[in-house]
Chains A and B, each alone.
Chain A
Amino acid sequence: MELYNNHKGLFLAAAGLFILLTCFVAIGPALTSQNNNAPLPNSKALTALENEGKAVYVAEGCIACHTQQVRNVDMDKVWGERPSVAADYARNTRMDTWRSTALLMGSERTGPDLTNIGKRQPVSDWHLLHLFNPRTVVKESVMPSYEWLFEVKDYPFVEDVTVNVPDEFKKGISGKIVATHKALALVAYLKSLKQTKLPDGKPVPIFLYGQSKTDLNTGTKGTGSAAKPEFDGAALYAANCQSCHQSNGEGLVGAFPPLKGSKVVLDDNPEVQVTIIMEGYNGRVSEGYGVMPAVGTNNNLKPEEVTAIVNHERENWGNNSKKATLAQVKKIIESLKRPAAPVIAKK
C-alpha cells in the first residue's frame, strides 16, 4: 500500500489517530471533570498548618502506600461511611506550578486507607508515636520510621511536644524526643482527613457487591462481617482498639493505659466500659495518658459489635469479669444517645 511507503503519511496518520483518541479519553474527560466539580457545602478548606502537612505527605511519598478513596464496593465500608464522590476531591488542587495536583487517590493499599483517618484515630500522641516508629504501636507494621521528623533535646521548651517512646525503640537516645514542626503539620493534616456528610437531598451512592441483598437493603454500616451470625470479638478488637491498647492488652507505658487488670474492665457492671468506648475518655490525662476518642461512635459500631469487644476485653489477658449481655449494652447505648439528639437535629 502507498501509505506504508510514505513516511510522512504513515507517521502523521498514526500520530493523528493517537492524538484524537487522547483527546477523547484523557483531555476531554479531564477538563470536564475538573471544571464541573465543587466542594461539598459542609467541607472545610485545609488550614495553613494542614497544608504544610499535606506537602510533607507528598514529599515523603506516603501516596505510594496509602490510598484516599472509599470505593463504592462493600469491602471498602471499613474505610468510610459512604463511597467517595468527585466533590470530595474538589478542594485538592495544584500546590504550585512545579508540581501537579497531589494524586491522593493512590493506587496501592500497602497501608490502610486514610480517607477517614482523622475520625478513626484523632489522637495526636498516637500519630506522633506511630510516625517515630510504627512498630511501637503496631508490632506487625512494615511502615518506615520517620525518625527525621523528630529531634532530640536534653531540655525541651515548654511549648515543645515531646513523645514518650518506649525504651526498646530509643536505642541510644538519652534526651527527650521532640516532634518537629513538620511532624506536627503532618499529624494536623492526617487529623483533618474526615469524610464530609453529603448535603440533604443528594443521593448517597450505595456500596456494590454486598455479601447479601438484605444487608444492602437495610443499609447497615458495619465492618463487612455482618453476614456472620456471631461477631468476632478478637477481630473487632484488632480493627478498632489494638493499635493503642495492643494485642496483649497492656497498652503502652506513658501513652495508652492497659486494659489488663483495668478497674473499668473488671467491673461487673459494663456501663463505664461501654460509655468510654462510645464517647471517649479523658480521665487519666493527668497520669500522662492521652485522650481516648469516641471509637464506637466514630467507627459506627453496632451494639452487637460493642458487646463482642467488651466481652473480648473481659475474658482475655487474665481478666475474668462477668460477660456483658447484648441487652445491657443496647440499653447503655440508648441512654447515651438521648443527649446527643439535638446535634443530629441541627444538621
Chain B
Amino acid sequence: MNLNRYKTGWLTISLLVLNYGATVYGADSAITPTPVFSVGACILIALVIFLLLLLLLWLIRLAKSLRQDTAETDYSSTHWLQNEVNNLDAEELDLLINRRKKIKGNNGSRHKSPGKGAVLTIFFLVFSVLAAHAQDADNGGDVMKSPGMFIMLALVLIPLVVTVYLIGLRLSNITRRTRYSKIKKDTLALTGAVDEQSVSVDDLINRKQALNFKLTDDELAGTLLPDDKRALLRNITEVESPRFFASKRKAANKHQIDPEIVRLIMWYLGTATFWLVIGTSIGEYLGIKFVSPDTDHISWLSFGRLRPVHTNMVFWGWSSLAMIGLGYYVVSTVSNTVVYSVKRAYQSLILINAAIITGSLCLMAGINNAGGEYREYTWPVMGVFALGIVLTLINYIQTIAQRKTKEIYISNWYIVSALMFLTVIAIVGYIPWWQNGLGETIVQGYYMHQAVGMWFMLFNLGLVYYFLPQQLNTPIYSYSLGILAFWSQILFYTLIGTHHFIFSSIPWWLQTVAIVGSMGMLIPVFSGTTNFLMTFRGSYHKIGRSYTLPFYIVGILFYFTGSTQGTAEAFRSTNLVWHFTDFTVAHSHLTMYGIIAFLLWGCVYTLIPRLTGREPKQGLVGAHFWMALIGVLLYTIPLMVGGTLKGIAWQAGKPFIDGVVLMAPYWLWRAIGGSLMWASHIIFAWNLYSMATGGVEADIKKKIFEQLNPSVQPETEITNGTL
C-alpha cells in the first residue's frame, strides 16, 4: 500500500515529464477494471455542457451588439463627429481629404453622387475588419459509438446543440445585416458632414499628421560622434533591425602572450575536443544500443567493450586534457610569470594522448583491467597517463616556484592539489603488487570516487576561481570560504568512496564512514556555491549580455544540485531504491557533464578569444549552450524517473524483466537527449576551430606595419599598400 503511494507520486511527476512512459507503466500496473463507461458518459456530458455554454456566450454577444446597432444616433452633434474622425486611421483620412480636394477642383458642380466610390471604400475597409471576426462555431466531436446510454444521450443532446447553433446563426445574420446598414448610415453621415464643411479639412490634415508622427531617433543622442580620448570604445554596433538573437558583449582585446604558449594551449584544447567528439559519438551509439540492441554484432563494438571506451575517453581525453591546457594559462598568469618548460608540457600532451589511444584500442580488443569503473585501462596504459600527469605537476610547481607574487592564489592550491592527488590515486589504484582479492573492491570505491572528486572537481574549481571573477570583473567574494571549501573537500571527499558498495560484503563500519563523509560534503559544496553566487552578486545583469557567463552559472547550479544529489543517494534508505539502477548513470552525467563540461566550455570561450583575437559566432555559441543544456536535462530526468520506478518495482518483487520493459521509453528519451548533446559538441568543435584559425589578418597587418616603419611617410604608404 505504502508502495502504491510512492508510485502514484512518481507517476504524477513522470506524467508531467514523459507522458508516454508513465502511461505504459501505469497501464501495466492497473489491476482493477476501469469504469470506462461511466467516465465516457461523464466526459460526453461535460463536453456538451461546455459547448452549450460557448454557444450561449455567443448568443449573448450577438444580442448585445444588435441592441447597440439598432440604437438611434444623433448625427448633428459635434461630439459624434469628432469621435468618428478620431476613429479613422491615416489611410481613411487620406481618402476623405482627397475626396474633398476633388470636390473643390470640380467647383462643387457634381455635388451629390461622386463621393460614392470613396464612401464605399471606407465602408469596406471598416466592414472587412468585421468580416474577419465572423465566427465559425464548432459542431462538436462525433459521439463515440457505445450502447444504451450513449445513444440515448447523443439523441437528446445533438439536436439540442444543433438547435441552439441554428438560432445563433440566424441571429448572427440579422446582426450582420443591421451592422451593415448602421455603418453605411454612419459613413454617409460623416461624408456628408465633411462635404458640408462641418469638419474643416485642416482638422483632418492635422489629424493625419498627428497620426503619422514618428521620432527621428536623434532626439537624445544627437548626430555627433562621441569624443573618445582614452580609447574606451571599440566594436560599437548599431542595431538597424529587430534582433532575433540578442548580441552579446565582445571579448576583450587580444592579450600580449607568448605565441608559443598560445600554440601549446590550443594543442591541448584541440586534442581534448577531438576526444570529446569521438567519446560522445561512442556514448551516443551506446545509448542507441539500449533502444535497438541488435544494431551490430561486432565484438569490438559490443556494449560491454565500448562502454569503458566512452567513459575513459571523456574522462582522461576530453576533460583532463582541457583542464591541463587551461591550467597552463591560469597557473602562470596568477603567478605573474611564464610557464617553466614548454617542452615538458608537450611531452605530457603526447604521453596522455598516447595513453588514450592505446587504452581505447586495448579495451575494444577485450584487454581490460577486470571491471572497475574508470579503472578499465590496464596499469601499463595508465602508467603512461600518470607519467604525463607527473610531468605536468612538476612543471606547474616549478612555475609557481618562480612566481613574482608573494601569495599563492587560491586557483593554484586547487590545481596543484588536484594533480598531486591524482598521482596518489593512480598509484594506490594501480600498483599491482600490494592488492589482491576483496581489498580491491575497497580500493575501487576509493579510486573511482577520488578520480571524480579530487581530480576533475578540484581542478575545475581552481579554474573557476580564476575565470569567474575575471569574467565578472570583480574579486572573489570570500577567500575564507575558499579556504574552508578547500580543506573540507579534502577531509570529507577522501572518505566517501565506499558509498558505491553499500549493503555489500565489505566492512559495515567503512560503509558508515562513507555515508558520514557524503553528509560532510555538504560543507564544501555549500561554501563553494555560496562563494560563487556571492561573487555574482550585483552582476546578474551581466549574464544576459555575455556568452560565457551562462556556462558558468549552469555549471555552478549543477555543482550545487549534482553534488547534493550525491549526498542524498548515499543514505542507506535511498540507496535501496536507486542503487544499481539507471539513476546512477543520470547522476554521473549530471555531474561530469553538467558541472565539469559546462565549466570547461565557459573557460574555453573566455580564454581563446583573448589568445587568438578571434571570436566564435555568437549564435553558434548560443546553439551549443542551449542544445547541451536541454540535451543533458532530457538525458538525466527520464533516467532519474525511470531509475526510481525500476527500484520501486524491484522492491515490490516484480520479475526482473518488468524493470527492463519499464525502462524502454526512458532509454529512448535518453537517446534523444544524448543526440542533442552530441550535436552540440560538433558545434563546439566548429567554434573552437573558428577561434583557432583566426588572428592571421591581425598578424599580417602588424607585419606590414613593421615593414613600412622605416619609410618616411607611413600614412600614404599604408594607404597605397593596402590598396
Q: Give, as a whole number of angstroms, the nearest-CB distance from B485 to chain A.
A: 13
Verify if B95 is at the interface (C-beta below 8 Å from A). Answer: no
Query: Quick one: which of A225-284 are within 8 Å of B by CB?
Result: 225, 235, 238-239, 242
User: Could you tell me if A34 and B436 are in contact, using CB atoms closer than 8 angstroms?
Assistant: yes
Other-chain contact of A29, B297, B307, B371, B510 (Cβ < 8 Å) = B510
The B476-514 residues at the A interface (CB cut-off 8 A) are: 483, 486-487, 490-491, 494-495, 497-498, 500-501, 503-507, 510, 513
Stretch of B217-225, B645-653, B691-699 on the interface side: B645-653
Do B438 and A107 have beta carbons less than 8 Å apart? no
B297, A147: Cβ atoms closer than 8 Å: yes
Known contacts A75-B651, A101-B437; is-contact A89 B417 (Cβ 8 Å): no
Q: How far is the CA of A109 from the CA of B652 in the complex (A)?
A: 16
What 1/0 mask marks residues of chain B from 403 to 426 whose CB sits below 8 Å from any chain A CB? 100111000110011001100100
- Knowing A18-B490, A223-B653 are in contact, say whether A33-B439 is a contact too (CB < 8 A): yes
Residues of B within 8 A of A102 (CB): 370-371
- Judge if A202 is at the interface, Cβ distance under 8 Å: no
CB distance from B83 to the nearest CB of A (A): 74
Cβ contact within 8 Å between A17 and B657: no
Do A101 and B510 touch across chains, with their CB atoms under 8 A apart? no
**Is B428 an interface residue when CB atoms closer than 8 A count as contact?**
yes
Chain B residues with CB below 8 A from A73, complex form? 503, 576
Inter-subunit contact B371/A103 (CB<8 Å) = yes
Chain B residues within an 8 Å CB radius of A108: 580, 584-585
Contact with B along A86-98 (1 / 0, CB 8 A): 1011101111011
A window 59-101: CB within 8 A of B: 59-65, 67, 69, 71-76, 78, 83-86, 88-90, 92-95, 97-101
Interface size class of A (residues with CB under 8 A): 35 or more
- One of A3-11, A185-193, A289-297, A306-314 contacting the partner: A3-11
| Contact (Cβ within 8 A) A4 B407 | yes
Q: B504 CB to closest chain A CB, in angstroms? A: 5
> Which of the residues A5, A65, A225 comes within 8 Å of B408, measured between beta carbons?
A5
Contact present for B501 and A238 (CB under 8 Å): no
Q: Does A22 contact B (CB under 8 A)?
A: yes
Residues of chain A with a CB closer than 8 A to B436's CB: 34, 93-94, 101
Q: Are A104 and B371 in contact (CB under 8 A)?
A: yes
CB-contact partner of A238 in B494, B658, B664, under 8 A: B658
In the complex, the chain B residue whose C-beta lies closest to that of A243 is B657
Check B368 against A69 for contact (C-beta < 8 Å): no
A99 touches B368 (CB 8 A): yes
Q: Is there a chain A Cβ closer than 8 Å to B313's Cβ?
A: no
Contact A100 B290 (CB under 8 A): no
Q: Is the CB of B369 within 8 A of A84?
A: no
A81 to B304, CA, bound (A): 28
Q: Is A26 an interface residue (CB 8 A)?
A: yes
B513 contacts across to A, CB distance below 8 A = 25
- A61 and B368 contact, CB distance less than 8 A: yes
Which residues of chain A (27-71) have a CB below 8 Å from chain B? Answer: 27, 29-35, 37, 58-65, 67, 69, 71
A159 within 8 A of B: no
Report the minimal beta-carbon distance from B407 to chain A, rounded to whole angstroms: 5
In the complex, whether B401 has a CB less than 8 A from a CB of chain A is yes
- A30 surroundings in chain B (CB, below 8 A): 435, 439-440, 442-443
Chain A CB within 10 Å — which of B307, B434, B580 has the most? Answer: B580
Which residue of chain A is the closest to B290 with respect to CB atoms?
A142
CA distance A86 to B501 in the complex (A): 13
A-B contact pairs, 25 of them (CB 8 A): A7-B397, A15-B424, A18-B417, A21-B495, A25-B497, A34-B435, A62-B304, A72-B503, A86-B506, A89-B438, A90-B438, A99-B369, A107-B500, A107-B584, A110-B582, A135-B294, A141-B660, A142-B660, A144-B289, A148-B297, A208-B503, A224-B653, A225-B652, A225-B653, A239-B656
Q: A58-B368, A95-B370, A103-B371 are in contact. List 17 more A-B contacts (CB 8 A).
A: A10-B413, A11-B416, A15-B420, A22-B494, A27-B443, A31-B439, A33-B506, A60-B366, A61-B307, A61-B308, A63-B370, A100-B440, A101-B437, A103-B440, A103-B444, A138-B657, A141-B660
Chain A interfacial positions (CB closer than 8 Å to B): 4-5, 7, 10-11, 14-15, 17-19, 21-22, 25-27, 29-35, 37, 58-65, 67, 69, 71-76, 78, 83-86, 88-90, 92-95, 97-110, 112, 133-135, 138, 140-148, 208-209, 222-225, 235, 238-239, 242
